[in-house]
Amino acid sequence: MNLKRNSTTTKVATDLFAIQMNWALWFVGVVFIVYLVLPMFVTDVESLNLAFPAFIFQSTKIFMLVIGILSCFSFLAYFVGNGITRKEYYIGSAVSAFGIAAGILIIASVLQGVLLLVGTLTAYTPNTGHGLDWNVSSVWLIPMMVYIMSTFAFYVAGWLISIGFYGYGGFGGFLAIIGAIIYVSLSDLGSGGGHSIQLFGFIRFTTPEFELPYAIMLTTVLLVAGLYLLRQLTKRVPIKMG
């Protein structure tokens, strides 16, 4: 029976990942074009001294927020209507979103790698690493985790808004939006510290900068709390018919 659940949950995660990754590819593609075209129009080169993963970071958060908001309205009824339990959907959805957050970072990094290669082999300058403060000398895996976790937190926030409206009507949605704003603000405290500058060299936050271990701890605690809350809110939610 456990095998059965695992296989259904895996299928849900895979299917959701396929759909959302399709959207994500469009999203990354469009932002990448903007990234390439922008230096032609903006003269303040300083502010463009960003690697692509850093450039796309804020937009990825919004993208994750949006696909989180779509969660209940686009998928929940569809999956439950096909005999999938809310729990299987919940786990599959969380795994998929985490995969999307990681996928976007990986694709963005690969694109950056290609640009660096172009920069090394040609004299073409914008966005190709010339003059870029691209510091990868630190332990890169941990900032990557923070990057993924903090974008994933926006999915959790979107999901919270989604279930707020879906399960508890307009007032529930309103409360969920307030909750989500507080949630992502806290989450940004975790991801906005000096460690990010270490990797991407882009965030100039004046808010408290947490040391990396604290940042990871804060983000982890927020994610665990957010996911726990979501499970409580979704585990018995009535499915709308329409």
Partner 1 sequence: MNFNVIAKNVNLKFNEFEALKDISFNLEYGKTYGLLGRNGAGKTSLLSLLASYREVTSGSLTVEGENPFENRNIMPHVGFVYETDYSDEDETVEKYFKFAERYRPYFDMSYAVELLNRFKLPLDKPIHKLSSGKQSALNAILGLASRTPVTILDEVYLAMDAPTRELFYKEVIEEQARNPRTMILSTHLVSEMEYLFDHVLLLHDGKLLVDEPYDEFVSRGSSVTGSSKTVDTFVDGMQQLKTQQLGDTKSVMVYGEMSEGKVLEGQRLGLEIGPVSLQELFIHLTEEE
Kindly state whether residue 123 participates in binding partner 1, applying the rule CB under 8 A: no
* Site for partner 1 contains 102 (CB under 8 A): no
Our CA angle for 169, 170, 172, nearest 5°, is: 65
Is 236 a binding residue for partner 1 by CB under 8 A? The answer is: yes
Are the beta carbons of 98 and 20 closer than 8 angstroms?
A: no
> Could you say which of 85, 109, 135, 220 contacts partner 1 (CB under 8 A)?
85
Q: For the chain, give the number of residues.
A: 242
Spatial distance between the Cα atoms of 235 and 229, rounded to a whole number of angstroms: 10
From the CB of 240, what's the least distance to partner 1, in Å?
8
For 180-232, the three-class secondary structure string (H helix, E strand, C coil) is HHHHHHHHHHHHCCHHHHHHHCCCCCCCCCCCHHHHHHHHHHHHHHHHHHHHH
| Closest distance of CB 24 from partner 1, Å | 18
**Amino acid, res. 49:** N
Residues 61-80 that bind partner 1 (CB under 8 A): 80
By the rule CB under 8 A, 204 interacts with partner 1: no
Question: Closest distance between partner 1 and the C-beta of residue 12, in Å?
Answer: 9
Interaction site with partner 1 (CB under 8 A): 1, 4-5, 8, 11, 15, 80-88, 235-236, 238-239, 241-242
